[in-house]
């Protein structure tokens, strides 16, 4: 069923949740961050400020080359900002990419166990925990399958289970569903929304798909480019469960797309 207009009761509940989260330490705090890849070249990011609350789902959208993935890498600790500060509540955020990057010689369970092994989890416990995590992403009974036996959607579910195996409260996702067909992507939207709610994760989700951002996010952040800056944010007060066809999602996506086109035309992308 499509999500209709938000009731007063739901609006009050969501407002109260935001008030509680605003009093907690941030899951991710980005303060005045700029980044230059090469000396003498223009910065890819300039003066970016962004705070992600505990348990918040934030989607980043923007023109190609605006620095969305660079910002995600800075949060992940894969690189250091040229200036400014990035603070993350979790010791090491979990990271998911567009490609699942599973090891083909391992089973689905084996790929999840690899992340558990890196955490120092014992062999006996790894098998049980991998089975539990595969069940979380609705792959119960598929742990013994090799990567080539899994569909594209199933591979991304394994990648999600592997990310959850890192036991991080912060999940970073860089266009994880971009290569999937529309039906599979829609199913995984539902799965991700469920896992996010059940696990209490803070999610930063990069996407070029504006409707995907409106479907998933509690907040959508639009970045401009040359250099990358945050130009506008939308608080998404559409209760879950949502669908990609929900009137509220469609209306918000139209508004965000209009602003995105302004940014694209401004910089000649």
104-134 per-position pLDDT tens digit: 999 999 999 999 999 999 988 999 999 999 9
> Residue 3's pLDDT is what?
39
Residue 170 above 70 pLDDT? yes
Map residue 160 onto helix, strand or coil. Answer: helix
CA end-to-end span of the chain, whole Å?
38
Residue 15 above 50 pLDDT? no
pLDDT in tens, 38-84: 887 889 999 999 999 999 999 999 998 899 999 999 999 999 999 99
Instruction: Characterize 241-268 residue by residue with b for buried, 16 or more Cβ atoms within 10 angstroms of its Cβ, and e for exposed.
Output: ebebebebbbebbeebeebbeebbeeee
pLDDT in tens, 19-51: 445 567 899 999 999 999 988 788 999 999 999
pLDDT band at 162 (very low <50, low <70, confident <90, very high): very high
Answer whether CATH 3.40.50.300 is correct for domain 1-93+172-269. yes
> Residue 166's pLDDT is what?
94
Mean pLDDT estimate for the chain: 89
Parse the chain into domains and list their residue ranges.
Answer: 1-93+172-269, 100-167
Least confidently predicted of 171-175, 235-239, 263-267: 263-267
Residue whose C-alpha is closest to residue 211's, from 261, 177, 249: 249
**Rounded CA separation 265/149 (Å):** 44
Q: In 10 A of CB 5, how many CB atoms?
A: 11
> Residue 268's pLDDT is what?
63
Query: What is the Cα Rg of the chain in Å?
Result: 19
**Rounded CA separation 213/176 (Å):** 12
- Which range has highest mean pLDDT (120-124, 220-224, 244-248)? 220-224
**Rounded CA separation 18/37 (Å):** 36
Whole-model pTM above 0.75? yes
pLDDT band at 2 (very low <50, low <70, confident <90, very high): very low
> Residue 23's pLDDT is what?
64
Residue 85 above 60 pLDDT? yes
Give the C-alpha distances (Å, rounded to integers) separating 153 from 40, 78, 107, 213, 230: 43, 27, 16, 19, 32
């Amino acid at each position: 069923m499509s999500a209709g207009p938000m009731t007063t009761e739901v609006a009050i509940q969501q407002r109260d949740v935001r008030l509680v989260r605003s009093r907690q330490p941030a899951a991710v705090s980005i303060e005045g961050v700029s980044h230059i890849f090469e000396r003498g070249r223009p910065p890819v990011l300039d003066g970016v400020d962004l705070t992600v609350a505990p348990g918040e789902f934030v989607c980043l959208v923007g023109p190609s080359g605006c620095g969305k993935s660079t910002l995600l890498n800075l949060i992940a600790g894969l690189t250091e900002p040229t200036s400014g500060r990035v603070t993350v509540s979790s010791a090491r955020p979990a990271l998911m990419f567009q490609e699942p990057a599973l090891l083909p010689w391992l089973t689905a369970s084996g790929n999840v166990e690899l992340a558990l092994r890196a955490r120092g989890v014992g062999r006996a416990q790894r098998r049980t925990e991998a089975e539990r995590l595969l069940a979380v992403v609705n792959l119960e009974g598929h742990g013994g399958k090799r990567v080539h036996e899994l569909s594209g959607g199933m591979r991304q579910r394994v990648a999600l289970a592997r990310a959850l195996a890192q036991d991080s409260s912060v999940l970073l996702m860089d266009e994880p569903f971009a290569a999937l067909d529309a039906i599979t992507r829609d199913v995984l939207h539902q799965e991700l929304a469920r896992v996010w709610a059940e696990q209490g994760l803070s999610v930063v989700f990069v996407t070029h798909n504006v409707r995907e951002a409106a479907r998933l996010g509690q907040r959508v952040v639009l970045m401009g480019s040359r250099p990358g800056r945050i130009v506008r944010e939308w608080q998404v007060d559409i209760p879950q469960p949502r669908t990609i066809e929900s009137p509220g999602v469609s209306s918000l996506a139209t508004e965000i797309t209009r602003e995105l086109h302004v940014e694209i035309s401004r910089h000649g992308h």
